[in-house]
């Protein structure tokens, strides 16, 4: 029987598991990544790549984003594969001057954690982004933001972890865990038995099933987001563009239930990036439809109509493809990052919703800190897996 030994066995090879693997391997741990498919087969291969701080809720989420954004360029420089990281900056476009008061508070919170924000009035905004509609009121610019190709970033992190000694088991699932004295003593998988000092669960929208296998509740649920991709063409925008109203769709899932407006019902919020290939990736929606990754005609129609309102030249864009991914959503809108007190050698990093690409780097650093007995630089108490109650015995 094959027995694989490791210091840290990571279940999940999306961007979160890949970042944990890279950081842990960099600190000298013997790492094993186990994934039921291949790297970036889940949400990390079905999303866009905004490394955003301006969209984060003030408090811990904003601090995590600032910390992750800070270390991103340095990690990118260490990788052998180019993940198409581009420091393009972000624009929060303001459609309605009535939103300015709420935005002022948000901007003050960003500035208080050292994030530079600059208001662009309409002429200045159009100067920087000539394809934006002159009907827009203006924009808040965050010059330190970036975009990255999430698929390539995941692949690059895995490749660099492997270059530092990590091993991988693709198309392999845990079939059972042995536990004793509140610890995992072994993980049986379809590829053999794994015996590790510590384990990390980084399973995105599949976390709940994995948690149940060791008796802990990881209440991550899928929240679908649809995206439309254009063929290469005009550079519709230099910055990552996001509607100020996007923040509302993201932060308030109940808005969809209250509203008769189909845009709110499907959780629409405008966003657009032009990737390294010159394609516009246009989004997006937010809906709780289980693991359904299909793309709806209504979603595409609304995404395109709303995008054309803000970037009229998109009316002539050729559409290449549409796709949807599942954001790993947690009801209290915080990711689950930390050590389980119920299973002492288990670390969890999951539930990053629409922020996992941005937060991946700080998440990997935190998990590597915990795995090597160091205190993380941020107080991650509120992210603890212990904040959910244990499921009742059936």
Ligand X SMILES: Cc1cc2nc3c(=O)[nH]c(=O)nc-3n(C[C@H](O)[C@H](O)[C@H](O)COP(=O)(O)OP(=O)(O)OC[C@H]3O[C@@H](n4cnc5c(N)ncnc54)[C@H](O)[C@@H]3O)c2cc1C
Q: Work out whether 284 is an interface residue with ligand X (CB under 6 A).
A: yes
Cis peptide before 378 (omega within 30 of 0): no
Question: Footprint of ligand X on residues 344-363 (CB under 6 A)?
Answer: 350, 352-358
Mapped onto helix, strand or coil, the DSSP state of residue 194 is strand
Q: Work out whether 327 is an interface residue with ligand X (CB under 6 A).
A: yes
Contact 286, 247 (CB under 8 A): no
Residue among 279, 275, 259 at smallest CA distance from 267: 259
CB-CB neighbours of 57 under 10 Å: 16
Among residues 120 and 358, whose Cβ is nearest to ligand X?
358
The DSSP element (H or E) to which 229 belongs, if any, is strand 220-230
CB of 124 to ligand X, least distance (A): 25
Given the rule CB under 6 A, which of 84-92, 159-167, 205-213, 295-303 is the region that contacts ligand X?
205-213
From the number of C-beta atoms within 10 Å of its C-beta (0-12, 13-18, 19+), residue 276 rates as middle
Calpha distance 285→245 (Å, rounded): 12
Total residues at interface with ligand X (CB under 6 A): 44
CB of 204 to ligand X, least distance (A): 3
Among 6, 15, 120, 157, binds ligand X (CB under 6 A): 15
Q: Work out whether 328 is an interface residue with ligand X (CB under 6 A).
A: yes
CB-CB neighbours of 126 under 10 Å: 17
Mapped onto helix, strand or coil, the DSSP state of residue 342 is coil
Among 6, 9, 11, 272, binds ligand X (CB under 6 A): 11
DSSP 45: G
Q: Work out whether 35 is an interface residue with ligand X (CB under 6 A).
A: yes
Mapped onto helix, strand or coil, the DSSP state of residue 200 is strand
What mask of x and - would describe binding to ligand X in positions 55 to 84, judged by CB under 6 A?
------------------------------
Q: Work out whether 34 is an interface residue with ligand X (CB under 6 A).
A: yes
Among 23, 36, 54, 160, binds ligand X (CB under 6 A): 36
Among 227, 249, 264, 337, binds ligand X (CB under 6 A): 227
From the number of C-beta atoms within 10 Å of its C-beta (0-12, 13-18, 19+), residue 366 rates as buried
What mask of x and - would describe binding to ligand X in positions 110 to 139, judged by CB under 6 A?
------------------------------
Residue among 221, 334, 208 at smallest CA distance from 288: 221
Given the rule CB under 6 A, which of 23-31, 35-43, 373-381, 383-391 is the region that contacts ligand X?
35-43
What mask of x and - would describe binding to ligand X in positions 157 to 196, judged by CB under 6 A?
----------------xx----------------------
Backbone angles phi, psi at 280, to 5 degrees: -90, 130
Strand partners, 229: 281, 321
Among residues 139 and 282, whose Cβ is nearest to ligand X?
282
What mask of x and - would describe binding to ligand X in positions 307 to 326, judged by CB under 6 A?
------------------xx
Q: How many residues does the chain have?
A: 394
Output the CA torsion sign for 281, 286, 289, 291.
positive
Among residues 138 and 283, whose Cβ is nearest to ligand X?
283
Residues that bind ligand X in the complex, under the rule CB under 6 A: 11-17, 34-37, 41-44, 46-50, 173-174, 202-206, 210, 225, 227, 283-284, 325-328, 350, 352-358
């Amino acid at each position: 029987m094959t027995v694989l030994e490791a210091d840290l066995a990571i279940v999940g090879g999306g961007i979160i598991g890949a970042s944990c693997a890279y950081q842990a391997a960099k600190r000298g741990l013997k790492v094993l990544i186990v994934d039921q498919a291949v790297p970036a087969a889940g949400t990390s291969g079905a999303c866009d790549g905004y490394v955003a701080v301006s969209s984060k809720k003030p408090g811990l989420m904003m601090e995590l984003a600032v910390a992750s954004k800070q270390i991103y360029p340095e990690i990118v420089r260490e990788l052998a594969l180019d993940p198409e990281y581009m420091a393009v900056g972000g624009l929060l476009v303001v459609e309605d001057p009535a939103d300015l008061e709420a935005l002022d508070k948000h901007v003050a919170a960003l500035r208080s954690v050292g994030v530079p924000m600059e208001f662009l009035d309409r002429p200045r905004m159009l100067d920087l982004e000539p394809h934006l509609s002159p009907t827009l009121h203006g924009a808040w610019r965050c010059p330190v933001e970036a975009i990255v190709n999430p698929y390539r970033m995941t692949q690059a992190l895995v490749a660099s972890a492997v270059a530092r000694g990590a091993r991988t088991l693709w198309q392999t699932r845990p079939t059972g865990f042995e536990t004793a004295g509140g610890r995992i003593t072994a993980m049986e998988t379809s590829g053999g038995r794994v015996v590790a000092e510590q384990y990390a669960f980084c399973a995105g929208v599949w976390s709940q099933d994995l948690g149940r296998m060791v008796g802990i509740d990881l209440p991550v649920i899928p929240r679908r987001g649809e995206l439309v991709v254009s063929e290469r063409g005009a550079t519709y925008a230099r910055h990552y563009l996001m509607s100020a109203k996007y923040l509302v769709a993201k932060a308030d899932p109940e808005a969809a239930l209250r509203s008769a407006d189909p845009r709110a019902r499907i959780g629409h919020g405008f966003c657009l990036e032009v990737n390294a290939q010159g394609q516009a990736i246009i989004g997006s929606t937010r809906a709780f439809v289980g693991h359904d990754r299909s793309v709806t005609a209504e979603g595409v129609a609304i995404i395109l109509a709303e995008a054309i309102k803000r970037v009229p030249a998109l009316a002539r864009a050729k559409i290449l493809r549409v796709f949807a991914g599942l954001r790993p959503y947690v009801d209290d809108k915080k990711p689950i990052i930390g050590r389980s007190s119920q299973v002492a050698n288990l670390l969890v990093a999951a539930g990053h919703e629409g922020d996992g690409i941005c937060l991946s780097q700080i998440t990997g650093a935190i998990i590597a800190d915990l795995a090597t007995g160091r205190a993380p630089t941020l107080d991650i108490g509120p992210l603890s897996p212990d904040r959910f109650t244990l499921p009742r015995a059936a």
